[in-house]
Structure 1
């Protein structure tokens, strides 16, 4: 059987089982964030305050990424059966990203429907911006080095248009709510503490988002089988996956979006022997190895070949056609 179709059904049934105890990771991550902030207060006058602050900031950035992974699961309906509870979990866990979870939900469920196609936000088509070989490589390195969130933000206008009137109100309330909390934190915290508590983690988070977006989808082609839509990475990076709540098991998530985050690692390990070789080839034990491999491909980019891929495509018509589709429904299991 092709792709992941040979995976036994009993493994899938086990993977879909919900274990609400794992949602304790939410208060754990916030508690770790609070503890890290306490360290920032305790060391703000230390001779090594800046390097300590940078280390703490990087740790907080990883915690925020892990909270985002739980929010992502809630958007898929994997954290709770109640739509209201799912929304609240997603709101609390996604807010630290600084983005509206209502907008993210619309984008992300649609991304699953159109993965790697021309209009997919996660498919950064550099030739839409430049065909100069040097500038194209430089732009790709910038986007996948640290600027992916900036590019991402420029693409969200089309998803704002997909929201209903009430959803747009909800989006604004979410943004005002979170950034008001950050404004209060800025007013109450010493500037040095606030920088390492949120602003520097925000910058580190941009780098992490850029790096992982490249790993997950760069140069992956559209396919009718989601087993071929993305890469799984960092399978041996257990501490990272503890902090990130298994978001790196990205191929498993695309193929089986109903598997809760806490079951992805165990499912991957049990199901891997049943994967087709082509799928196994896109599973990586680390993060930096595949990242540098892809950066190397960027440096060897053939702009003419990339342009050929879309030469006969009516881009505007394709975008209109696919943007008119609804996203996948929360709770989809395969």
Structure 2
């Protein structure tokens, strides 16, 4: 069985995570901290020790070709399934194995592109994100960017970081059934939650995203059938449900490690672990999003160069706790009573809002 383990510089002496205690905390509260988020501090330390890492920054030309290939694959599969009954095993099996994998890949392509890592031109990045959005069925690429960039700039900040569960979610879903419900329908939580926290300004790119997606959906149904569109929508749902690749949503920032009483002291200044990487083979299908500490440290480094960052700055990353399996991360999240919705690090202030009326230069966003 794949296991999620905390690794340190002396790996041999570290017990696997499934045999070590999980975070000890009040189940009705989050892990509150008064320290600065760790990524800026580590980024500066890495740059000081290895200034050559800055050469890794910049767009990755391969991204647009991967996007085109996956979009094409999904359109072909939708066409081939136009006459296959929605309730058939074949329809669901293809949607789960191929469709969900492809659409999760496109979710993460949009994530990558939100950092302007497909083209040098910001407009070109906005447009390729709209193309990547097509097989997802629902327009969201334009809205995702400001929320995601705020997640980077305001990691863990209550009221700004929409990746954080709300207090209501943590209270209602604090059970095995509740966590299983969240994992099954988490795509809807990530779609609806941002709008309940704060709303970003609508722009021409939002309008274009909606118009292009609506036109694509209408043309798809007109020349195939409603089943083709249902295939794409089902693929998107399964991609954010109980699917191995969907494990990254939970594995990235939910705290599985032991949090000592000293660390939980509100006056304590020792940073809590709050971002966790995964270095396994599923990264091949997921734009290396498993290199999540690396991504938060250097959001301007594209997916193809995150491994190089890890190798260059190995002394910084190797001691950090990380997951061995996204599937096991989901399993343990559901069944371990000590791991749940409130196992997230929160801070009451700090950070910056990107969007929602705030105007930031691109250099500030990517810093």
Report if TM-score (shorter chain) is over 0.5: yes
The aligned residue for residue 20 of structure 2 is: none
Q: Which has the higher contact order (CA 8 A, sep 6+)?
A: 2
The aligned residue for residue 174 of structure 1 is: 209
Aligned length: 305
Question: Residue 277 of structure 1: CA displacement?
Answer: 5.5
TM norm structure 2: 0.68
CA offsets, 1:12-41, max 9 Å, x none?
245325442443212221232244345536
The aligned residue for residue 258 of structure 1 is: 300
Question: Residue 229 of structure 1: CA displacement?
Answer: 3.7
**Which of residues 306, 314, 321 is equivalent to 1:273?**
314
The aligned residue for residue 233 of structure 2 is: 199
Structure 1: segments with no counterpart, 5+ residues: none
Change (3 A) 1:265 1:94: farther
- Counterparts of 1:117 and 1:88 in 2: how far apart (Å)? 30
TM norm structure 1: 0.73
Contact 2:154 2:353 in 1 (8 A): no
Change (3 A) 1:135 1:263: closer
Structure 1 residue 105 and structure 2 residue 141: aligned? no
**Which of residues 248, 269, 275 is equivalent to 1:212?**
248
**Which of residues 117, 122, 126 is equivalent to 1:83?**
122
Q: Secondary structure at 1:123's aligned position in 2?
A: coil
Question: Residue 115 of structure 1: CA displacement?
Answer: 1.2
Contact 2:74 2:135 in 1 (8 A): no
The aligned residue for residue 16 of structure 2 is: none
Superposed CA RMSD: 4.0
Map 1:1-334 onto structure 2 (within 5 A).
5=45, 9=50, 12-16=53-57, 18-37=59-78, 39-40=80-81, 44=84, 50-58=88-96, 59-97=98-136, 98-119=138-159, 120-125=161-166, 127-129=167-169, 131=171, 137-143=176-182, 145-157=183-195, 161-163=199-201, 167=203, 169-196=204-231, 198-207=232-241, 208=243, 211-219=247-255, 228-233=273-278, 235-237=279-281, 240-268=282-310, 270-271=311-312, 273-275=314-316, 278-279=319-320, 281-282=321-322, 284-297=323-336, 299-300=337-338, 318=348, 330=362
